[in-house]
Chain A
């Protein structure tokens, strides 16, 4: 069965430091991959998505993610975080031949001054 694992429930980091949020998925078929961000008391909004082509995907607010098929991972990175990046980040996966989008349990990024 398709599943998404976000290994870190919380990631504390200081401002201007780099950050990586990890996402692994299990699937036996080709997938589409997404990262969404949820700021406090708001709905989710898309950061970036991988559908096909280049495995390095750039998104909004300086975030990027790399699709690694052999490791079934789609980790999110930012070279220098800001206080305003404090939010919850969700990885999501869908399979080509299904009608389902499966979300991970989320990673709470806390940026400290």
Chain B
């Protein structure tokens, strides 16, 4: 199994509070991703990173920010959580060896279940 951990694994928070989710990898992979999984929507990309301090938006980035200060860590922050951000959040990584990420296998973490009340 790819060495990907996510913390916390479960979190309950209140509307309007900031929340930070952490993804940690031990594979030294270049690309890291944050997805959210919701019933009827599959997985949707929030943000991704292609290197330290290099990030870009996905299709559902509103209300989320990310940071990557080290190769192994990718943080997802909900600046002011809303009930619509209740979801399961998955981190994924890919090697980035080809310089083009879309033909590579992505390896997923175990997920974080977030409930915003």
Contact = CB atoms under 8 A, between A and B. Distances in A.
A4 B41 CA distance: 11
Interface string B29-54: 00000000000111111000000000
Classify chain A's interface size. Answer: 20 to 34
5 contacts: A32-B102, A96-B102, A99-B102, A101-B45, A105-B41
A101 B106 contact: yes
Interface string A6-48: 0000000000000000000000000010101000011111100
A100 B101 CA distance: 9
B40 A46 contact: no
A95 interface: yes
Contact of A43 (B59, B101, B102, B109): B109
Interface in A84-104: 90, 94-96, 98-101, 103-104
A52 to B, nearest CB: 9
Nearest to A96: B102
A42 B101 CA distance: 23
Given A32-B103, A99-B101, A101-B102, A106 B42 contact: yes
A46 B105 contact: yes
A65 to B, nearest CB: 15
Given A43-B111, A44-B108, A49-B105, A100 B45 contact: yes
Given A32-B102, A98-B102, A100-B102, A43 B90 contact: yes
The interface centre, meaning the residue of A36, A100, A101, A106 with most chain B CB atoms within 10 A of its CB, is A101
